Structure formats: C-alpha cells, structure tokens
Structure 1
Amino acid sequence: MDIHHQLADLRAFMQATFAALATWFDQPPALLDYVPADQGWSGREILTHVGLTNHYLLILIEKGTAKALHNSRGLELAAELAAQPLNPSRLAPIGLLHAFPWLRPAHMEPRDFPTPLPQVRQQLRNQLVQALACLDRLPDGQGVLYQTTMTVNGLGKLNVYEYLYFLAQHAQRHLLQLAENATEFAALAASEK
C-alpha cells in the first residue's frame, strides 16, 4: 500500500476513534459517574484521562512534525520511505485493554484534574483538529523523517505517523474500558430490578 493510502487510513482511524469518544458525552450521568467494582475510573475520569494524555502526546507530535519537515530538506523521500515503511500493526496492542501492564505518569491521572465534561468534549474536538493538521502538514511521507522514543510497552523509536496511531490506539483502549464500565453498570442495574 502506498503512503497516501496509509495516511488516508490513519486519518479515517483517527476520525472514527474521536467520533466514538464523542458518543460517550451523551450518555446518562449515572453511567458516566459509575465507578466499576475494581475501583477503576468512571467514564467521566476515562474521558478526562484521554484528553490529558492527548495533550502531552500532541506536544511531541507538533514538535516531531516541525522537525520532520525540517529534516525533509535535501532528502530523497522515496528512499527514506522504502527504508522506513509504516507498520501500524506494531501499535495494535496499545488499543487493547489489559494487553500489558501500563504505568502512566501521575500528571495523567484524571482524579487529580476534575474537568467539566463540556470542556473535555471541546478539548477532544480541538485535539482531533490539531492531530489532523499535523497529518496535513506531512502529506507525502515526511512524518517518517523524525523519531522520538516511546517507552510504553517497549515500543522504542516511533515516527510522527506512529505517534498519531499511538494517540488513536490509546483512545481505542479507553473506549474498551468505557464499554466494560457500561456492561457492568447495565448488569448491576438489571440485578437491582
């Protein structure tokens, strides 16, 4: 698959992921506030965490975008793409809940940053626009020209496109967590009838 098709797939994946997140803001408050039996995060906290994490990932993505564009000067992009083909499948485990232990930094803990849901909703909308703008600035494969280390799950060096995949896969992981909460909430409600 050529780079333009891969980038179109990345765009569609990001848009679908953020659209799925957006549906959670319209769920009943009782569901969004429900704390699961394992004392994990409520839906409200999960959405806040996704916004917090995106904030920090997008700082790296913005810097990486600028550096990749700078690095593209004088390089033969086709040769670089051949040497560094995109491999989004290596990021698939990021989108799976319980796939590996994940230790997150304290500054991404949602309980420390209570944010009203309308503000989180707008934050996520803005973050999608920001992520797609970075993608638009790298239309021909330039995103492979800069890498940053990602320690999560021992991933190592990721290029700018892979960071964008990571951002969307992280949200996918939390969509699964939201679904788990909803299933548990529905079962509890049914048992109380």
Structure 2
Amino acid sequence: MDIFRCIKFIQTHLKFTFDEVDKWFEKENATLNYQPLNGGWTILQILEHIYLTNLYLLILIEKGSRKAIRNYYHLDVNPEIKNCSFDKEKFEKVGEYRAFEWIRPEHMEPKGDLNSYEIRQSIIQQYRQCLHYLDLMKNGEGLLYKTTMTVNELGKINVYEYIYFLSLHAQRHLTQMKNNELQII
C-alpha cells in the first residue's frame, strides 16, 4: 500500500473507531456505570482510559510529527515513499481485546476525575488532533521519523503507524465495552 492510500486508510479507521467510541456516550448512566461481574472497569472508566491513553500517545505523536517535518527539510522523502510498506497485519492484534498481555502504566488508569461530558469532548478533540497530524504530514513526512513501540513487540514504527496504533487501542476497548453491556441484559 503506498503512503497516500495508507494515510487515507488510517483516516477512515480513525473515523470509524472514534464514531463507535462516541456512541457509547449516548448510553444510560446505569449502563455506563455498570460494574462487571469480574470486577473490571465500568464503561465510563474504559472511556476515561481511552482518553488518557490517547493523551499520552498524542504527546509522542506530536513530538514525532515535529521531528518528521524537521527531517523533511533535510532529507529526501522520495526513497522512503518508494520503499514504504504498511503492514496492517503486524498491528492487528493491538485492536483485539485480550489478544496479548498488556500492562498499562498507572497514569493511563482511570481515576474518575472527569465526567462523561468532559471525557467525550476530550476524545472528540483527540480525534481532530489525529486528523490534523495526518493532514500536516500529507506528503509522506511521517515516514521520516520512527519511535520504538514496545507493546506487542512492534519495534520501530513511523508516525503514521503510531496514529494507527492509537486508533487500534480504542478499537480494542470497544469489545470490552460490548462485553460489559452484554452482562446487563
């Protein structure tokens, strides 16, 4: 897949995922605050976790995009574009709930400091940030900077792949929220 189709694919994935996440805010409070039988997070806590994870991933994405754009002025992006290979399969497990052990840092655990409106507005803004970075790097700039991703041993990934990772992380938790809701019925 060439980089321009890759960017379009990530934009589409983000829209679908964030639209699906946003639908959960329309649920009744009883559903949002239902405590699963296994003692896991409520849907509202999962939504807060998505927000918190996005917050920290976007810090890295912002730094990566700045460095990639700086590199764009000093490096030739054409060889990177020519040799670009976007391996979606390498990332698929990230979007699957419980596909592998994932130990998250404590700062990404929900604390209950925000209400559902605040979480929702923050997630909407985070979606817009992702689109902004993709637009900012629409010429392949995101290929010019890589960061190591230790989750599921992904290794060095470029800025576009980092944004895709963010979207997959949210997708992962859609399944978890559906499982919670199924327990209520």
Instruction: Sort the TM-score into its range (normalised by shorter chain).
Output: over 0.9
- Structure 1 residue 78, shift from structure 2 partner: 2.2
- Structure 1 residue 76, shift from structure 2 partner: 2.6
Alignment of 1:10-49 (within 5 A): 10-49=10-49
Match of 1:83 in 2: 83
> Structure 2, unaligned stretches of length 5 or more?
none
In structure 2, give the amino acid aligned to 1:146.
Answer: Y
- Structure 1 residue 5, shift from structure 2 partner: 1.6
Q: Distance in 1 between matches of 2:29 and 2:74?
A: 54
Match of 2:127 in 1: 128
CA root-mean-square deviation: 1.1
Higher gyration radius (CA): 1
* TM-score between both structures, scaled by the size of structure 2: 0.96
- Structure 1 residue 116, shift from structure 2 partner: 0.3
- Say whether residues 1:106 and 2:140 are aligned partners: no
Alignment of 1:1-193 (within 5 A): 1-110=1-110, 112-186=111-185
* TM-score between both structures, scaled by the size of structure 1: 0.92
The alignment of Structure 1 onto Structure 2 pairs a total of residues equal to 185
* Large movers: runs of 4+ above 4 Å: none
Sequence identity (%) = 43
Deviation larger for 12-21 or 73-82 = 73-82
- Structure 1 residue 113, shift from structure 2 partner: 4.0
- Structure 1 residue 38, shift from structure 2 partner: 1.0
The answer on whether the counterparts of 1:21 and 1:175 sit within 8 Å (CA) in structure 2 is yes
| Deviation per residue, 1:151-185 (Å, 9 max, x gap) | 11111111100100000000000001001111111
